[in-house]
Amino acid sequence: MRRIGFIGLICCCLPVLATEQADTTDLRHRELDEVSVTVRSEHPELSGYRLMTTLSAEEVQLFPVNTVADLLQYIPGVDVRQRGASGVQMDPSIRGGSAKQVKVLLNGIDMTDPQTEHYTMDLPVDALLIERIEVLQGTNYAIDAFSGAINIVTKGGTDDSLRVIAQMTAGEYELVNPALAVKVHRADWYLNSAASYNRSQGYAHNTDYQIANAFLQTGYRGLDIQLGAQMKDAGANCFYTTKYPEQFDATRTAFGSVAYQHRWQSGWAIHANAYYRAHFDRYELFRGTPLNRHWTHTSGAHLEAGWSNEWAKTTAGIDLRDEYIRSSNMGTHNRFQLRYFAEQRFYWRGLSAALGAAGVWNSQFGHDWSLGANIGYEPIRGLQLFANINRAIRVPTFTDLYYHSATQQADPLTRPEKALQVELSARFTRGHWYASLAGYYRWGKDIIDWIKPADPDVIVWQSTNNSRVNAGGLEATVGLQGYPWIRRVELSYAFCDVQADAGGLMSLYVLDYLRHKATLRIEHRIYRGFGASWTLSFRQREGEYTSLEGTVQRYQPVWLFDGSVYWHNELIKISIDAHNMANQRYYDFSGVLQPQHWLSATLRFTL
């Protein structure tokens, strides 16, 4: 508790980095260098270029979904595993890693939950406010990302403007989702705010939910402040075991952050931030009978300084993070982490290169280190080549260490994970066309997983360190955009292969990964304000699960077809959205059946 008070004092005294607005062109792939300040507002800029995937605000509005969790499923290389609908509980993973290994940021502020990865995406942000979603695939020492990072950006607009957006969505399964957003920009001051309520009786027994969000972001010049809160209650049918279908989960989330940045003409710059996040979870194995309660508090602060000129940049800084949990199941635990880093980057004509390193001291696990080397080269206009090598570490969640129940047994001796990844990639843009290609290989050591024998009568999963888990893969995208009637046609494919020896045991996370993911997107106009967006995707998941009938089954390949048809003018947009139009029966987790279809209609007013 004293450490939390110390961090809280820093939060009051330390200004924090505001996210710097990046170029918002409609290209799907950009150099990380173009958006590095936004992606990593609390960390030193990544020196070399890297491919990253960006969903713009315009694209976000065309997808047949209204939640951040659902939007991520359309990004190449991202595996979205859901328990329920509308982001009730969603685990995003990247390049064969687990959801534990993905870093999640909101306007550059770390929102990763130390209790469990299942609650990291408890974000009180609606699609109405999103300016873009940035996804960095792969290990990155600079932001301490083990297999990738997701940054959700809400700040947008540079001209004097006032926008009020009122939206109502209704659909199958008694879906009702009203939302209101206000965005104001006046010279050096801005305000983004939104409130929403989303509920449904559910598509199957005990899948009902209600979610309420409230978010406020404001800033002046280099100062940025954000506050948010979320309430979520959800029927948790077979969430953690098929033996108990009457589970229930209720969560409450609140967070706040302050950020500041300033640059001098001399070339010096300072970035700082501080944040606090509180999370409460009430889990019931039998609905109406509380079983576990968890209170998690996370606070942190960051300070970095740098000097740059036209050919080089030097950066150094420090991160502080305090994680505290009080749980009826896991007890009370508190740990503190100190991270210090330095990076040197160089520019020369079409070449950029950088070397960086970070030391990490954790009060529970001691000292470790990470590093990165990145090179980018542009031999001809429109073609960029990248080479990257990064090492990262990740400490276990509190659940990995201490959770115990009728279906799970943690090991308090679980060790931190380590990964080293190499990557070669390229990007090409010319006229209406764009394409990218990336190949990677990640060596993983002490990878954390939950395992059990492949016997339906054995229901207890145990946490363990798998000594070696290596992942390699290929990602490719090709598309065209910007024509009068065909706004975008894009085809993407991601292949991943994970090598691990589970000794004949079932794996809950490591070996249940997407081997193949192919997605075809088409966005087109129809006539006078009418348009449509279609997405066809193929997914083949590796691994096994226990069915509702109690038998062990292998995941089956699935084709998913989503679509949206809309009409709009300057003030009104009306859309009819459909998810899983082919009525496919599929599972992301053991025994948790996904919606076989979901039809909804949305009416939006923009003033």
Tell me how far apart the alpha carbons of residues 567 and 575 are, in angstroms, rounded to a whole number: 6
What pLDDT is recorded for position 25?
A: 34
Q: Could you write out the DSSP letters of every residue in 258-294?
A: EEEEEE-TTSEEEEEEEEEEEEEEEEESBTTB--EEE
pLDDT band per the 50, 70, 90 thresholds, residue 5: very low
What pLDDT is recorded for position 405?
A: 84
User: CA 540, 545, 549: angle at the middle one, nearest 5?
Assistant: 120
Q: What is the pLDDT of residues 585-594, one digit of tens each?
A: 998 887 788 9
Give SS3 for 511: coil
Query: Residues 6 or more apart from 361 whose CB is under 8 A from it?
Result: 337, 338, 339, 367
User: In this predicted structure, which of 109-118, 236-245, 301-310 has the lowest mean pLDDT?
Assistant: 236-245
What pLDDT is recorded for position 440?
A: 96
Structure tokens at 328: 């009826």
Tell me how far apart the alpha carbons of residues 156 and 10 are, in angstroms, rounded to a whole number: 28
Place of tokens 């005294």: 13
Domain ranges in the chain are 2-606
What pLDDT is recorded for position 253?
A: 98
pLDDT reading at 88 higher than 80: yes
Q: What is the pLDDT of residues 277-297, one digit of tens each?
A: 999 999 999 999 988 999 999
Place of tokens 């299942």: 118
What pLDDT is recorded for position 242?
A: 83
What pLDDT is recorded for position 21?
A: 34
Please give the average per-residue pLDDT across 193-217, as a whole number.
96
Please give the average per-residue pLDDT across 135-147, as a whole number.
86
Is pLDDT larger for residue 139 or for residue 323? 323
Q: What is the pLDDT of residues 91-125, one digit of tens each?
A: 999 999 888 899 999 999 999 999 999 999 999 99
User: In this predicted structure, which of 30-34, 304-308, 581-585 has the lowest mean pLDDT?
Assistant: 30-34
pLDDT band per the 50, 70, 90 thresholds, residue 73: confident
User: CA 161, 166, 169: angle at the middle one, nearest 5?
Assistant: 145
Please give the average per-residue pLDDT across 65-86, as a whole number.
84
- Identify the top-confidence range among 19-28, 90-99, 363-372: 363-372
Q: Could you write out the DSSP letters of every residue in 342-383?
A: EEEEEEETTEEEEEEEEEEEETTTEEEEEEEEEEEEEEETTE
What pLDDT is recorded for position 23?
A: 34
Q: What is the pLDDT of residues 503-525, one digit of tens each?
A: 667 777 778 899 999 999 999 99
What pLDDT is recorded for position 504?
A: 67
Number of H helices, E strands in the chain: 5, 36
Tell me how far apart the alpha carbons of residues 396 and 116 are, in angstroms, rounded to a whole number: 9
pLDDT reading at 1 higher than 90: no
Q: What is the pLDDT of residues 420-468, one digit of tens each?
A: 999 999 999 999 999 999 999 999 999 998 888 877 777 788 888 887 8
The mean pLDDT value of the chain amounts to: 87
What pLDDT is recorded for position 503?
A: 65
Rg of the chain (C-alpha set): 23
What DSSP state is assigned to residue 58? Answer: H
Please give the average per-residue pLDDT across 364-380, as a whole number.
93
Contact call for residues 119 and 100 (beta carbons, < 8 A): no
What DSSP state is assigned to residue 5? Answer: H
Tell me how far apart the alpha carbons of residues 303 and 324 are, in angstroms, rounded to a whole number: 22
Closest CA to 564 of 57, 63, 58: 63
Structure tokens at 360: 């990490």
Phi, psi dihedrals of residue 33, rounded to the nearest 5°: -60, -30
Place of tokens 């509920």: 199
Phi, psi dihedrals of residue 13, rounded to the nearest 5°: -100, -20
Q: What is the pLDDT of residues 521-565, one digit of tens each?
A: 999 999 999 999 999 999 999 988 877 777 888 999 999 999 999
pLDDT reading at 15 higher than 70: no
pLDDT reading at 360 higher than 90: yes
Is pLDDT larger for residue 132 or for residue 502? 132
pLDDT band per the 50, 70, 90 thresholds, residue 42: very low
Percent of the chain with pLDDT over 70: 90
Q: In the CATH hierarchy, which fold is given to the domain comprising 2-606?
A: Maltoporin; Chain A (2.40.170)
Question: Is 215 exposed, middle or buried (CB count within 10 Å of its CB: 0-12, 13-18, 19+)?
Answer: buried
What pLDDT is recorded for position 502?
A: 64
Q: Could you write out the DSSP letters of every residue in 87-124?
A: TSSEEEEETT--GGGEEEEETTEE---SS-GGGTT---
Question: Is 37 exposed, middle or buried (CB count within 10 Å of its CB: 0-12, 13-18, 19+)?
Answer: buried
Please give the average per-residue pLDDT across 339-365, as a whole number.
93
Q: From the CB of residue 382, how many other CB atoms can be counted at a distance below 10 Å?
A: 12
What pLDDT is recorded for position 19?
A: 34
Tell me how far apart the alpha carbons of residues 319 and 337 are, in angstroms, rounded to a whole number: 8
What pLDDT is recorded for position 455?
A: 77
pLDDT reading at 230 higher than 90: yes
User: In this predicted structure, which of 53-57, 388-392, 526-530, 579-583 has the lowest mean pLDDT?
Assistant: 53-57
